[in-house]
Chains A and B, each alone.
Chain A
Amino acid sequence: NAGVTQTPKFRVLKTGQSMTLLCAQDMNHEYMYWYRQDPGMGLRLIHYSVGEGTTAKGEVPDGYNVSRLKKQNFLLGLESAAPSQTSVYFCASSSRVEELFFGEGSRLTVL
C-alpha cells in the first residue's frame, strides 16, 4: 500500500518554464490537497479537490492550476514558473472524517 505518491521528487526549472507535479493516492480518498512549505511559514494550501472533476482555490492559488480527472490523481501545474515558487510541495489526501495523509514532497527550485 503506497499511500500518497508524488512525482517528481526534485525538479529545477528556469523562470518561465512550465511543469506538472503528479499526486496519486491509493486509499480511495475523496479529498485531495496541494500545499507548499516554506521556511518559517508552515504549510499553506494552494488548491484542493473534494471529488473527481472538482477543484477549488486555497490560500495561495495564484500562479498554479490543478486538475482532478481521476479520483486517485491530483495534478498541480505551473504554467510560467517564477523564483517565488521555489518551495517544497506536499500533496495530501483524506476521507471525509479522517486526518490528512501526506506524500513525501516535491522540492522545486526555480532559477
Chain B
Amino acid sequence: AQSVSQHNHHVILSEAASLELGCNYSYGGTVNLFWYVQYPGQHLQLLLKYFSGDPLVKGIKGFEAEFIKSKFSFNLRKPSVQWSDTAEYFCAVISSGGYNKLIFGAGTRLAVHP
C-alpha cells in the first residue's frame, strides 16, 4: 500500500532560521504531491503542489519544495521562517486508486520562537 513518511514530528526553530521538512513516499509510478499547512485551530490549506514539469515548486508565503524522483522525496523548504509559520505541516500524495484521494503523512509540528 502507498504510504507517506514525514521524518520530523516536531521541529523548533528561531525566527529567521532556515527550514527543511522531509517527506518520502512509497509509490513508484506517476505521483501528484502536495504540502498542506494547518494553522492552530484552522483547517488545512494548500501550500504547494506538484503534478508535473519543473521539480522545484514555489508555493505561497515563501515556501518551496523539490521533487526528487530517484529519492522518492518531496521536501519542503523555506529560507527564513517567521513566528507566523508556527503550524502543522502535512505532506500528501494522490492515491494510485485515483479520484484525488489523498494519502497523508503523520504531520510535522513546527514551532517558531521570536
Residues of A bordering B, CB below 8 Å: 31, 33, 35, 40-45, 48, 50, 56, 58, 90, 92, 94, 96, 98-100, 102-105
Residues of B bordering A, CB below 8 Å: 4, 6, 9, 34, 36, 42-46, 49, 90, 99-107
Measured in the bound complex, the distance between the Cα atoms of B4 and A18 in whole Å is 33
Are A96 and B107 in contact (CB-based, < 8 A)?
no
Measured in the bound complex, the distance between the Cα atoms of B41 and A105 in whole Å is 9
Are A48 and B99 in contact (CB-based, < 8 A)?
yes
What is the number of contacts between chain A and chain B, taking CB atoms within 8 Å? 50
The secondary structure that dominates the A interface is strand
User: How many Å from the CB of A104 to the closest CB on chain B?
Assistant: 5
Question: Which residues from chain A contact B99 at a C-beta distance below 8 Å?
Answer: 31, 48, 50, 56
Measured in the bound complex, the distance between the Cα atoms of B6 and A58 in whole Å is 21
* Given known A-B contacts A99-B34, A103-B43, A40 and B100 have beta carbons under 8 A apart: no
Question: Which residues from chain B contact A48 at a C-beta distance below 8 Å?
Answer: 99, 101
Are B107 and A99 in contact (CB-based, < 8 A)?
no
